[in-house]
């Protein structure tokens, strides 16, 4: 059943905040998955995202299968590449990197994914993916060969998000990049939230309860946390 987007929207309408744990197939050992997912299951997390900028060809499929054995939470692909598509997940963020001008990441890889997607039952969720300058070069920049948007030109970020919405995208994802030095600022989140009428995802560089609360308070509907949980599996115990 394809209800993940509707569930996200319903929670947004109720003013309930959501949290996705990002698991990178390149950074997790399969024999650790059950223990990690047990911790996620008892945390405030509402979703598990799976993906990374550079991932071995079959690693995602095997990892998602193992995750699904241990949780009822929705597993959503957050793919860095077409090779990360697997029918074992529930949904896929169909990301278009609208902050960049690399046609491959705007539409090219999407075209190449169609025959693969057709063989799956994945719920496909069109997502405007906006990379924002965060103090140092991130993996997304390197892999996609694109420049992030300046964090001081807030109007440009707002206009980019609004253009994504008007193009029909269902979600906006403000991304500082994995392990970012500077998370997306409260001002940016709040201005984008005021401008768009679709759910707002924020991720990258969020490493503390305070930063998480700030993001929610500014208007993030769903926050993505990866690195800090990779480094400290007890991170969610204190939320």
Enter the tokens of residue 132: 């924002």
Q: What would the two tokens of residue 1 be?
A: 């059943």
Please identify which residue in 96, 200, 224, 235 interacts with ligand 1GP, judged by CB under 6 A. 224
222 binds ligand 1GP (CB under 6 A): no
Report the residue from 205, 215, 222, 236 that binds ligand 1GP according to the rule CB under 6 A: 205
- Binding of residue 22 to ligand 1GP (CB under 6 A): yes
Q: Give the residues across from 75 on adjacent strands.
A: 48
* CA–CA separation, 239 and 230 (whole Å): 16
Which regions of 3-142 does DSSP assign to beta strands (E)?
A: 18-23, 47-50, 75-77, 91-97, 123-131
The dihedrals phi and psi of 34, each to the nearest 5 degrees, come to -60, -45
- Phi (first) and psi of residue 55, to 5 degrees: -135, 140
Q: x/- site string to ligand 1GP, residues 163 to 192, per CB under 6 A?
A: ------------x--xxx------------
> Tokens 């208007």 identify what position?
219
Tell the smallest beta-carbon distance from residue 49 to ligand 1GP (Å): 8
Q: Is 203 in the site for ligand 1GP (CB under 6 A)?
A: yes
Q: Given the complex with ligand 1GP, which of 53 and 61 has the nearer CB atom?
A: 53
* Separation of CA 40 from chain center: 16
Contact status: 233 vs ligand 1GP (CB under 6 A): no
d(CA 3, CA 5): 6
By CB under 6 A, is residue 128 in contact with ligand 1GP? no
Token output for 127: 């997502």
Name the minimum Å distance from CB 56 to ligand 1GP: 18
Strand-strand pairing, 222-225 and 91-97: unpaired
Helix (H) or strand (E) holding 203: strand 200-203
In whole angstroms, the minimum distance from the beta carbon of 118 to ligand 1GP comes to 27
- Of 164 and 204, nearer to ligand 1GP (C-beta) is 204
In angstroms, what is the minimal distance from the CB of 122 to ligand 1GP?
19
| Cβ nearer to ligand 1GP, comparing 1 with 135 | 135
Q: Residue 2: how many CB atoms within 10 A of its CB?
A: 12
Residue 100 or 203: the one with the smaller Cβ distance to ligand 1GP is 203
Which residue in 128, 225, 235, 236 binds ligand 1GP (CB under 6 A)?
Answer: 225
Contact positions vs ligand 1GP (CB under 6 A):
22, 175, 178-180, 203-206, 224-228
């Amino acid at each position: 059943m394809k209800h993940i987007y509707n569930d996200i929207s319903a929670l947004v309408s109720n003013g309930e905040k959501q949290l996705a744990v990002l698991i990178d197939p390149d950074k997790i050992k399969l024999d650790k998955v059950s223990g990690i997912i047990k911790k996620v299951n008892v945390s405030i997390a509402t979703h598990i995202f799976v993906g990374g900028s550079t991932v071995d060809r079959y690693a995602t499929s095997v990892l998602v299968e193992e995750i699904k054995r241990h949780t009822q939470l929705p597993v959503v692909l957050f793919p860095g590449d077409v090779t990360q598509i697997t029918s074992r997940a529930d949904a896929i963020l169909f990301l278009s990197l609208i902050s960049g001008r690399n046609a491959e990441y705007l539409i090219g890889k999407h075209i190449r994914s169609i025959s693969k997607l057709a063989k799956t039952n994945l719920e496909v969720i069109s997502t405007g993916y906006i990379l924002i300058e965060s103090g140092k070069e991130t993996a997304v920049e390197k892999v996609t060969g694109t420049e992030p948007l300046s964090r001081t030109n807030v109007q440009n970020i707002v206009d980019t998000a609004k253009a994504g919405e008007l193009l029909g995208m269902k979600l906006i994802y403000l991304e500082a990049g994995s392990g970012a030095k500077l998370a997306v600022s409260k001002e940016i989140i709040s201005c984008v939230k005021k401008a768009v009428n679709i759910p707002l995802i924020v991720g990258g560089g969020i490493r503390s309860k305070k930063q998480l609360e700030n993001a929610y308070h500014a208007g993030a509907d769903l926050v993505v946390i990866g690195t800090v949980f990779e480094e400290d599996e007890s991170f969610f115990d204190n939320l």
